[in-house]
Each structure stands twice: as structure tokens, then as C-alpha cells.
Amino acid sequence: MLPKYKRVLLKLSGESLMGENNFGLDANVIAKYAKDIKQITEMGVQVALVIGGGNIYRGMNEAETGIERAQGDYMGMLATVINGMAVQSGLEKVGVYTRLQSAIKMEQIAEPYIRRRAIRHLEKGRVVIFGAGTGNPYFTTDTAGSLRAIEIKADVILKGTRVDGIYTADPEKDPTATKFDKISFADCISKKLSVMDMTAFTLCMENNLPIIVFDMNKPGNLMSVITGEKVGTLVS
């Protein structure tokens, strides 16, 4: 089977790496994701990754924590680097060559983010993990994912979540919620569906970058998305 997409950016939440835990990392989840990613790289698909940091630190409410917003956001960026290192380790364990690039300089553990270098790594078949968000406070990892996907000219953003697509309401709370197979950017806005935060979403819309929201935890789903099967919800 031939892949439908040549270059993809896979966006994972930090929470997805927790598995059944309440905090931190689950080695089994990382191993499973690594196997799934390896499968698609073997088909010749170029893969970039952006991972959130919510499993380690989520920018908390300043009033509750006493930590100002910008400082909290930088703490969150460091959490994404820890997750990036963990996933890098998981991928290398199964024989996938990777590079971790950080938007905040930390030479001992990651390359600095350089767009041309990232593209070169992808062309050589390496998985590139983008850590530390955009390097700026007040931007989420969703925005970092959209920005990096546009910069590396990815064909699509694959947003791996716990639900199998976009619904009319939260399916975990509303049993009558129905799923969209595909939906336009404009409809998402008018229906107030939260696919990503608004900054990230607008970036994708302005640059005609499609987003596929799908359940990353279902075995074989990533492969199905790559080969063009009807999995999840396509926003375009």
C-alpha cells in the first residue's frame, strides 16, 4: 500500500504519554507509539513530531500557583523537551533514527531548531522531534505544531488524541454527540468546535494545511490514516 502523505507532522498531547498513570510517562505507551511511527517511516513517510507537556507541567492559573504566566509557560516548554527525549529513546530502541531539536538552546541534549537542518533530517529518513514549543511564552504546543508543520511544508497535521475524531459535542460527556467525517475550517469556527487553540487553528486555515484528528491509541490507526483510509475527522 502506498502512503497518501509524504511528509506529516504528528502532534501528541503530553497526557497521552501518561497511559493509565496520573502523572509522568508510561513506558508501554511510548513503546507502542514508537512501533506505530516506525511502521510508517518504513513506508518512506517523513515524520516530524510535536509533543505537549501536560503530563509533567501544565501552565497553571497564576492566582492559584503564584507563578507568573510567562514563567509557567517556560516550565511547560522544558516539560516538552523531557517528553521529546523519552519518545526519542523509545524510537531509537526500535531502530528509528531521530533528531531532537529544541526552540530553547540546550546543546547537551538537543540540536537548536534550524528549519533547513530539520528538513534535511526528514529527507534523510530521520524522525525529527520539535521540543520547547515555539520558544515563546503565551503560545501552546498546538501552535508550535502548526507553525513547524508550515515551516517544513508538511502535507498534513495528524493530531493524535484519545477520541476518534471531532464530534458535535464532547462524546465523553454527551452520549448523543455525532462524529464528523470531514468538516471545513469555517464550519469548525461557526460551530465553536475546539480542534486546537485558535492561534494554531488560524495558522492552519490561512496556509491551507489540513488537520486530521484521530484516536492514536487504537492499534493500526496511524497506518490507516497514512494510507488514506477514513479514520478520524479531516478538517480542510
pLDDT of 110-166, one tens digit each? 999 999 999 999 999 999 999 999 999 999 999 999 999 999 999 999 999 988 999
The whole-angstrom separation of Cα 91 and Cα 35 is 8
Instruction: Give the model's pLDDT for residue 47.
Output: 98
Q: What percentage of the chain's residues is helix, strand, coil (to nearest 5)? A: 40, 20, 45
Q: How far apart are CA 135 and CA 46, in angstroms?
A: 24
Which positions ≥6 away from 177 have C-beta within 8 Å? 167, 168, 169, 170, 171
Rounded to whole angstroms, how far apart are CA atoms 234 and 228? 11
Q: How confident is the model at residue 61 (pLDDT cuts 50, 70, 90)?
A: confident
Residue 3's pLDDT band, with cuts at 50, 70 and 90, is very high
Is 90 exceeded by the pLDDT of residue 1?
A: no
Q: What is the pLDDT of residue 116?
A: 98
pLDDT of 24 > 80? The answer is yes
pLDDT tens sequence across 216-230: 999 999 999 999 999
The per-residue pLDDT for 20 is 92
| Bigger pLDDT: 88 vs 58 | 88
Three cell numbers, residue 148: 513547524
Fold of 7-235: Carbamate kinase (3.40.1160)
What's residue 233's pLDDT?
97
The 10s digit of each residue's pLDDT in 197-214 is: 999 999 999 999 999 999
Looking at every residue in the chain, the average pLDDT score rounds to 95
Give the sign of the dihedral formed by CA 43, CA 125, CA 17, CA 74. negative
Residue 59 has pLDDT above 80, yes or no: no
Query: Residue 169: what pLDDT?
Result: 87
Q: What is the mean pLDDT of residues 176-195?
A: 93
> Of 57-71, 90-104, 128-142, 209-223, which gets the smallest average pLDDT?
57-71
